[in-house]
Structure 1
Amino acid sequence: MSDTGGKRLTVPKFSSFKPKASTSTPLDTKTSHDRKDEKDDKFKERRSRHLSNVLSVAEGVFFFDKKGDPLIRRYGGNDRSRVPMYRRGYRGRVLGSDGYLFIHGDGSYEQFSIRMPGEGSFSSRDRALFQPKVHRAKPKRIRLRNEPSGNLSHGVEEDFVPLSNLRRRHIEESQSSGDERPSYRSIEGKAKAHEFSDSDIDLDSDAQEDTGLDMDDPLKQRSIQLARKIKEHPENIEAWLELIRHQDVLLNAGQSLDREVTKAEVHSFAEIKTSMFESALAQAKKPEDEERLLLGLMLEGSKVWSTSKLDNRWEDVAKKHDSSFCLWKARVDNKLTSLSTFQYTDIKAMHINRLQAILKQDKVSGSPFPGHATNDSEVSRYEQMIFVFLRATRFTYAAGFREMAVAAWQALLDLNLQRPSNCDDVAKLQVLDSFRDFWEDEAPRIGEKGASGWRHYVQVNGTVDLPESQKDDSAIQGSRDVYRSWGATERLRATNARSPARATDDVLEDDPYRVVMFSDIEEFLFVIPSSAVPTVWKQLVDAFLLFCCLPPAFRASAWTEAAENDALITGSWSLFENDVLQKPNEPDVMDESKKTPTFKQDGSRLVASPDLLFAGPDWFSLFSGWTSTSKVLDGPVNLTLVTNAVRLLVSSKEFGELAEYSLSIEAVNEPNSIKKRAKALIKQDPANLKLYNAYALAEFVHGKSEVGFQVVASATGLISTPNNIRDILRKVALTNENDCISNRIFAIRYELQRGNVHSTQAAFEKALDSPACRSNPGLWRCYIRFSYARKQFRNKAKDVFLRGLRHCPWSKELALEAYTTLVNVMDEFELKSVFDTMLSKGLRIHVDMDDFIANHEKARADVSEASRTKRNRTGG
């Protein structure tokens, strides 16, 4: 209150308010100094007792550990249950480091961190920088507002004593401000990443400097910077893409080894990115920019749109951007992975139509990756056609039409790399007509025994020896389980189908696909001009090797690199399939530092260097896939077909660069004939030093050079694996930019060797949830077998199979897992349903199941009747 009449009001004093004399107890008579002294004495007494106890048991607490923890490499740290409780002095500073090193906790690990000069050693900002997941309160944005003139300051002195706490009132007022963010208990749900707005962008630099706006949130600051950049330059497509990529950083900001991003979070961020892509498309002016944005839009849209909406959007994109290879491939991949709409004939037609469309286009895509301008180069045209042809044949092979796919490759190689010189200046239709005569004459084709090529056939006027007639194995694999028997028989027929038959061969009469006529493969073929062959022949050979699931020899084209990462193309991981069937890898006490490394690994992308082409058992080998398990049965073709084809190509001087690869694959297929093959190649090109080196390495590997072995062994012993390999995989190898099948296989293999069954299962799940691996049937098959081989996961193996079938409906090998690996866990209705699905989708079926079951039941009945008759006769 204020003054009244110029007189200050005072509080009256009465004698009744006089305080009474207090009666103190003896304890209260002690002063504060006395209590402090007594406290210090007690502390000193406890300290002296503690020191005496420590000295008495020192020998039992401290000891020398000469062996170490054998599992430190597996878990990345010491066993905390065996470490005595302790507390670091000097707040974690490292002794002798002048304060620039200190130890901080990162989850369950302790790590060293470096503090730069001038920085606070224990500030919250320093700790946040070294912790991958820090839960800290975000600073509030403070905005200064002018107070209305009518409001008076609370600092004016009043003539009363306030009964409320000013500090509490101040806190309550600040908490009720309009800038408060929603609580985690609010109806807005879980706290989300901050979404930038115009108010964030309009903040001037002076205000940011005055208030220190979000200095502890670099991700939010980056979002604001990118949003401001787009607002100032909306035509900057790179800025749009950078902002969209930044959403992945925001999504993964809270991810760690202990927490994965949820599907709801992925869906929410996909909606945000879809909206951003559509906004950026409105600003795109160049076709290559539209291609990049549309590709990202359709990829993110597939996560949030319905199937019908996605199909309609793809139809619109295909009409407006028919020349874009990336958009065509993405559309085909979308069709491939849709079980509800997939049909073999539809996907095959899309590839055939693409081959024909490329020939008619004025300008074609110059790269398999988005964002590149089109051109009218003939080399670019046929590079793309080779890639499409490779995808088409791998798809045809996977769907069960194996002989057709192999025959198409034989025809394409003979047509373009063994073409007679008199066909160089002839029209393409006439070249195909001439090649038709060679094919229908059934002379030995490239890769077959005694084949000399189309060129030699024309030179000798067709007077060549015909190949020997072959006979298919028509046996039926017997089993008490009719479905297991059908699955084994179907696999046997599929193995026979890897080699195209001729009209003179003894094959099953009820199989019209075994004999491949020229009309069956004509729509796949194309003639590469003689002027373009010297440029694209390496890519063509690499594509053939990739079709055979072998490593490429040159990797001279970006299209080859794209093919290696294509889930439809890669496959035949027989070695990896054996790895996932190993016994459960529970943690043990073995010292893994003394364990021999695993050098044989399929699915790896290694460069064809001499030490890998001719590697011994103690080093990485380029041919460590299906060629190391079975050279006859485990590959898409017999390895002899590949060696014959490569040997025929090397016989021509224009393909002499393939000689080193040819010698290496000969050493794998027939090690005893390496000397003969090497001499023939050196005689053909005596100045080729690479051949001498290759021959020397081949002899070294198959010899007994003990010194060389010791050098290699000592060198490999120096190789060390970092403890934080999982962290490197998560942050580097398995990011969106580097995610590919080979990296995922490495991650799974690492968990098989160093982790346990649960971490291996998690690695499989992450790999098959990735767009780069989701449509690869080989990886699904390995996961199915891994799950079935473990008792704790056996009940989930069928669910894994059904998931894989939805993503890879074209793969017959995957479907046959129901009749082999899972035949004991699937009932009769499910097994028949899988067969009906294969039949309805147009996949190749060699043996009709209904007839097979009827014959099987009849045979069992005959055997039972014969046994009954025999018993009756014996009893009589």
Structure 2
Amino acid sequence: MSEPKAIPKFGSFRPKVTPPVNDQENKSSSREKADAGEKEKKKHSHRHHRHRSRSRERHHQTTEAEASHLSSSKRGRSRSRERDHQVIEAKFFQPPKGTREESPDLFFIDRKGDEKNIAYGSIHRYSVPAFYRIGAGNVLGAPTNLKINRNYGDEKEIVLNDWRNSISSSREKYIFSRVAREKPRLLKIRPEHVARNAEDSSEDFVSLNQARGKKRKRTGQDGGESSASENDETHYRSIHGKSKPKNQPEDEGLQYATESESSGSETGFKLDSDAPGRQRNVQLGQKVEQDPRDIDAWLALIEHQDTLLRGQDDRRRITNAEIRSTADIKIHMYEKALEKAGSLKDRERLLLGLMAEGSKIWEAKTQSDRWEQISKDNIDSLMLWKSFLNFKQATFSTFLYEQTRDICLRRMKLLSKAASTASSDTINSIYQQILYVLLRLTFLMRESGYSELSVAIWQGLLEVNFRAPKNVCSKEESLRQFGTFWESEVGRIGDDDARGWRHFVENQVVPETDALVAEMDGTLDNANLFQSWAASERSRCKDSLLPARTMDDVVEDDPFRVILFSDVEDFLVILPPNSEQLQKSLLDGFLIFCRLPPLSAIGQPAQDKLTDAFVRDELLELSSTWISSAYKQKARDGSDEFDISSTLDAPISAFQSSPDTIFATSHWFKNIRAWRELYDGDPSPVCYKWVRNTLNQLTQAYFREDLTEYYLAFEWRNEPDTIKKISKSVLKQHPSSLKLYNSYAMIEWTRGNKDAANGVLSAALNMSNSMSENDKRDSILLWKTWIWARLEDLDKASALQHLLSIVDVLPIPQFAHLRRLFLRLGNTLYQISEAQGDIATALLCYTSLSNIFIDRNLSGIPSHELLLQSAARLLFHHARIGPFRPAFLREHLSNFITLFPKNTIFLSLYTWNEARLRIDNRVRNILLSTVLTPENDSLTSRLFAIYYEINHGTIHSARSAFEHALSTPASQSSAGLWKFYIIYSLETPQFHSHAKDIWYRALRACPWAKELYIFGFEKLSGGLVSFEELKRTWRVMGEKELRVHVDLEDSFEEIAELEQSEKGHKRLGFRGAS
């Protein structure tokens, strides 16, 4: 190879000759080079200091003319020093010779990032080249009002603060603030000091007088045997300047431990705030090792990992990398614990926790596969399958209507197969699971737009279980006969004049029915396309609440309007004969499907349904007008007196049904509201007429006292003009039912017909005298109704008369007998307190009976809750009619809430009692400590907390209550709660601009809820959301396989063609003008 050519030199580019530097400058230069490392670290701060010094000097020069000569001389000397320093800096930072191409490492482009970020949560410090910050704390790309806060952060992260607002308040002013922020460092004894004083270990004492002072006295002797500390220290008059802080402790016998030694692995001890947490971790680990099958110990150890992550500093921001790494550790612990789990209950607890942690690090597909496998491996667990269904239904990326429907169908087939071979002990549990799956499935169908199919399934279930023929045959033969009945298209349950399956089989007569003709109303307006579409879609939904027949003339050619037997065959379940509890559960399911409260004294199966956010979601289908008025802040007149009636108006209630609540007067809570009040103007979830007919036909075909009582309450709330006729008709059919007489008496009393009510109660009590002991048990309900009616009318004398007449069955006519009876029993309280009586003694009776439930481990049964509801009613009556002690109410209501934290009667009364005082924040405290805890959290409790904040808090506390509710597993998938949040944002001017983001969040959280799409198109298409965004959102409904009646694709094409033609006209007009 030829030698490389020499680079030509040009004289015109020769650098200027640097003037010679004198000896003093050479000395300064040598000193500067010796301290180059330290100067390199502090260069930027020196430059910044000089800049500020020069600025101050210029200011003094213009304002202090009298000292100009002195200032100029000083500046001359200063400039000479600065000039020397600048020459040295120019030499130190002189770039290497050569062109830009000869320095490939001058710039480095990293397109992948540092892999250590994921592993360690920060960059690799040794791979970062030397750099220096400029900009006085500003960060490139961040707003100019944000600056780096030097008081916080470390080498892994920086903290930005708004210097305009918080810099003055965030800095700590006390003298030891910097010391308090510094992390403690571990001290260790120097090894050489231990070796030098080895002989001291044999002494009987520890000498506190070390040789440190003697060494100072021997300074200069023995050829420099001065202490090492003196050699290290700099004299205060030294030419080297101020002494610098030492990196070692004052005591020469100690030294600072390294970072690895401070971790505790070598020293076995750590002086930090996390020591108790680590010690607790060691104890839990040892407990798990001693008894690996103790699942509670495993769960405690797993939960403690969050405490270790958080440490003692709750204010520290936990990074995503820390969350992911901790989740990975907990997943490993869960998997090890699962190997030791024996019972299904333990596996449920562990698997739910495992999947909760997996959601932090796994992709949606991985989670779906794991849930699928868990559901197959644990066929007996309804809880795990329900969690799997919740995941599939509420995950936007994986939700498809047909896939979710098939999950429910596969579960039903699997349970039906298990029921065919199940024992008598487990068959009831299996059928309860089947009924829950059916309820979830029909809700999914209706909320996705398939109302006809959901109603048809319930029609089939009620027909085959309550109106089946009397002849008993196999299930296969029964379904075949029912298919014949279905395909004949005669009236089914709920239809007008429907006779049912049994009548069809016995008479073999097919009545003629008139064909229905649906009229098309509503047209699309391209100028306001989405609002007109929402109105037209709602109209079509209203016409599609019930399944059509093949002879009906429907507006659209829609195959989903007519439901064939093959469409419902797979969903029909025939309950075992004489299974009264399962039949009641089926009736409860039907009522919940119709958005009605279940029958009285519900058991655990119905209670579980009512706490499920996917089931208990009335707000989604309630009228937006009713939601706004029900949760609207109650107006106050400025006085301390609160309207006591507002206490009884909690919009969404959760308590045990009883005759007191379904026939409630204006002085107590009610749980059945008028249908027209709830669904005023908007389409109801189901047809009101169909619900009314179904209840009536069920009472005719399958008589139950509680069901008939419920039907009378429904009729009284919705059809008060005809209730008297209906009640008498029912009593004529069942003349010996004391419960029905009691219901009729309560209706008459509430309507104001007190004389008629007194007559009914008296006649029923007289009739009970001739009944058997078993049949006359319900007479106590008549006495209770009569006594409470008198108390609410403030007729204490008559109430007391009826109360004491219970033992004699017949009323005592003379009031004087009551007075003598009281005195004979030794109770003189009647003479002392004639106004309200002794409420404390009365509550003792309730408390003693409640303690019996608790002692027998029956604290959670419905009977106990009904008992405490009765006690709460007595407390409320006591407070309503006269003075009372708030502390007394608080004590008892707090106990009630502790036992039943989801009961809205107790919560409402507690809130009313505390709101009158306006002193302490007890309501929020009991909500956070007792009601909204993870083990007690529910959708109804969250709605109550929001209701409280709207009426007693601020708009910001109300919004915070919404956000907390939508971030908890108990209510984050409630489509009705999301709808309520959108309504609140739109009606609150401060939050109006947030409605769009909340709508999109709602669609991501509840992709199946068609009502959320329609509601957004109605309320947000006026300018908050652009046309293109609405267009893409509308198409998402098709992607998720939701039912859409009115298609918009043709309208989209028309609008696109109009836009193209307008653009063409504009171009032609421009050319003509030119």
TM-score of the superposed pair, with normalisation by structure 1? 0.70
- Is it true that 1:285 corresponds to 2:484 in the alignment? no
Displacement of 1:457 in angstroms is: 2.8
- Is it true that 1:572 corresponds to 2:618 in the alignment? yes
String of CA shifts for 1:296-333, please: whole Å, max 9, x gaps.
Answer: 21122112322233233234324433443322222221
Counterpart Cα distance in 2 of 1:355 and 1:172: 78
Give the corresponding residue for 2:435.
Answer: 386
Give the corresponding residue for 1:450.
Answer: 497
Counterpart Cα distance in 2 of 1:505 and 1:840: 30
Give the corresponding residue for 1:746.
Answer: 944
Give the corresponding residue for 1:692.
Answer: 741
Counterpart Cα distance in 2 of 1:145 and 1:347: 69
- The answer to whether the Cα contact below 8 Å between 1:818 and 1:831 also exists between their aligned partners in 2 is no
Alignment of 1:65-214 (within 5 A): 150=198, 152=200, 153-156=206-209, 160=213, 176=256
Give the corresponding residue for 1:332.
Answer: 389
Alignment of 1:461-860 (within 5 A): 461-462=508-509, 464=511, 466=513, 469=516, 471-472=518-519, 474-476=521-523, 480-531=527-578, 533-554=579-600, 556-573=602-619, 574=622, 578-580=626-628, 590-591=638-639, 593-596=641-644, 597-624=646-673, 628-630=677-679, 633=682, 635-652=684-701, 654-703=703-752, 711=794, 715-716=879-880, 719=909, 720-722=912-914, 723-824=921-1022, 825-851=1024-1050
Instruction: Give 2:522's aligned amino acid.
Output: A
Instruction: Give 1:150's aligned amino acid.
Output: A
- The answer to whether the Cα contact below 8 Å between 1:497 and 1:514 also exists between their aligned partners in 2 is yes
Give the corresponding residue for 1:407.
Answer: 456
Displacement of 1:851 in angstroms is: 3.4
- The answer to whether the Cα contact below 8 Å between 1:584 and 1:757 also exists between their aligned partners in 2 is no
- The answer to whether the Cα contact below 8 Å between 1:445 and 1:452 also exists between their aligned partners in 2 is yes
Q: Which of the residues 466, 470, 475 maps onto 1:428?
A: 475
Counterpart Cα distance in 2 of 1:405 and 1:485: 27
Greater CA radius of gyration, 1 or 2?
A: 2
- Where 2:962 maps in the other structure, the secondary structure is helix
- Judged with a 3 Å threshold, the aligned counterparts in structure 2 of structure 1 residues 376 and 471 are, in CA distance, closer, same or farther, namely same
Counterpart Cα distance in 2 of 1:478 and 1:492: 15
Counterpart Cα distance in 2 of 1:255 and 1:560: 43
Total equivalences in the alignment? 690
Displacement of 1:776 in angstroms is: 1.7
- Where 2:459 maps in the other structure, the secondary structure is helix
Instruction: Give 1:486's aligned amino acid.
Output: W
Instruction: Give 2:208's aligned amino acid.
Output: G
- Is it true that 1:320 corresponds to 2:377 in the alignment? yes
Displacement of 1:741 in angstroms is: 0.7
Counterpart Cα distance in 2 of 1:560 and 1:799: 35
- The answer to whether the Cα contact below 8 Å between 2:273 and 2:311 also exists between their aligned partners in 1 is no
Matched-pair identity in %: 35
- Where 2:618 maps in the other structure, the secondary structure is coil
Unaligned stretches of 5+ in structure 2?
1-179, 201-205, 217-228, 231-247, 755-788, 795-875, 885-908, 915-920, 1059-1074
- Where 2:1020 maps in the other structure, the secondary structure is coil
Counterpart Cα distance in 2 of 1:581 and 1:263: 42
Give the corresponding residue for 2:167.
Answer: none
- Judged with a 3 Å threshold, the aligned counterparts in structure 2 of structure 1 residues 552 and 595 are, in CA distance, closer, same or farther, namely same
Instruction: Give 2:743's aligned amino acid.
Output: A
Instruction: Give 1:542's aligned amino acid.
Output: D
String of CA shifts for 1:613-645, please: whole Å, max 9, x gaps.
Answer: 012344321024866323784531133322322
- The answer to whether the Cα contact below 8 Å between 1:784 and 1:801 also exists between their aligned partners in 2 is yes
Give the corresponding residue for 1:305.
Answer: 362
Give the corresponding residue for 1:294.
Answer: 351
Alignment of 1:221-240 (within 5 A): 225-240=283-298
Give the corresponding residue for 1:207.
Answer: none
- Where 1:339 maps in the other structure, the secondary structure is coil
Bigger RCO of structures 1 and 2 (CA < 8 A, at least 6 apart):
1
- Where 2:704 maps in the other structure, the secondary structure is helix
**Residues 291-300 or 768-777, more deviating:** 291-300
Counterpart Cα distance in 1 of 2:878 and 2:311: 42
- Judged with a 3 Å threshold, the aligned counterparts in structure 2 of structure 1 residues 324 and 221 are, in CA distance, closer, same or farther, namely same
- Judged with a 3 Å threshold, the aligned counterparts in structure 2 of structure 1 residues 500 and 584 are, in CA distance, closer, same or farther, namely closer
Counterpart Cα distance in 1 of 2:267 and 2:742: 68
- Where 2:968 maps in the other structure, the secondary structure is coil
Instruction: Give 2:1040's aligned amino acid.
Output: K
- Where 1:730 maps in the other structure, the secondary structure is helix
- Where 1:651 maps in the other structure, the secondary structure is helix
- Judged with a 3 Å threshold, the aligned counterparts in structure 2 of structure 1 residues 678 and 250 are, in CA distance, closer, same or farther, namely farther
Displacement of 1:161 in angstroms is: 5.4
Displacement of 1:137 in angstroms is: 12
Counterpart Cα distance in 2 of 1:665 and 1:557: 21
Displacement of 1:568 in angstroms is: 2.0
- Judged with a 3 Å threshold, the aligned counterparts in structure 2 of structure 1 residues 294 and 157 are, in CA distance, closer, same or farther, namely closer
Give the corresponding residue for 2:402.
Answer: 345
Counterpart Cα distance in 1 of 2:1028 and 2:556: 30
String of CA shifts for 1:796-854, please: whole Å, max 9, x gaps.
Answer: 21111111111111111111123111112111111111121111221111011123567
String of CA shifts for 1:586-633, please: whole Å, max 9, x gaps.
Answer: 999934642442423343212111121012344321024866323784
- Judged with a 3 Å threshold, the aligned counterparts in structure 2 of structure 1 residues 253 and 619 are, in CA distance, closer, same or farther, namely farther
**Residues 151-160 or 767-776, more deviating:** 151-160
Counterpart Cα distance in 2 of 1:702 and 1:217: 69
Displacement of 1:357 in angstroms is: 1.2
Counterpart Cα distance in 2 of 1:363 and 1:819: 48
- The answer to whether the Cα contact below 8 Å between 1:471 and 1:506 also exists between their aligned partners in 2 is yes
- Name the structure where helix makes up a greater proportion of residues: 2
String of CA shifts for 1:38-78, please: whole Å, max 9, x gaps.
Answer: xxxxxxxxxxxxxxxxxxxxxxxxxxxxxxxxxxxxxxxxx
- Where 1:498 maps in the other structure, the secondary structure is coil
- The answer to whether the Cα contact below 8 Å between 1:632 and 1:638 also exists between their aligned partners in 2 is no
String of CA shifts for 1:272-304, please: whole Å, max 9, x gaps.
Answer: 543331221122234443333112211221123
- The answer to whether the Cα contact below 8 Å between 1:363 and 1:376 also exists between their aligned partners in 2 is no
**Residues 753-762 or 566-575, more deviating:** 566-575
- Judged with a 3 Å threshold, the aligned counterparts in structure 2 of structure 1 residues 827 and 679 are, in CA distance, closer, same or farther, namely same
String of CA shifts for 1:670-702, please: whole Å, max 9, x gaps.
Answer: 112222222223233333222222222222222
Displacement of 1:263 in angstroms is: 7.7
- The answer to whether the Cα contact below 8 Å between 2:249 and 2:255 also exists between their aligned partners in 1 is no
Counterpart Cα distance in 1 of 2:743 and 2:187: 72
Instruction: Give 1:836's aligned amino acid.
Output: R
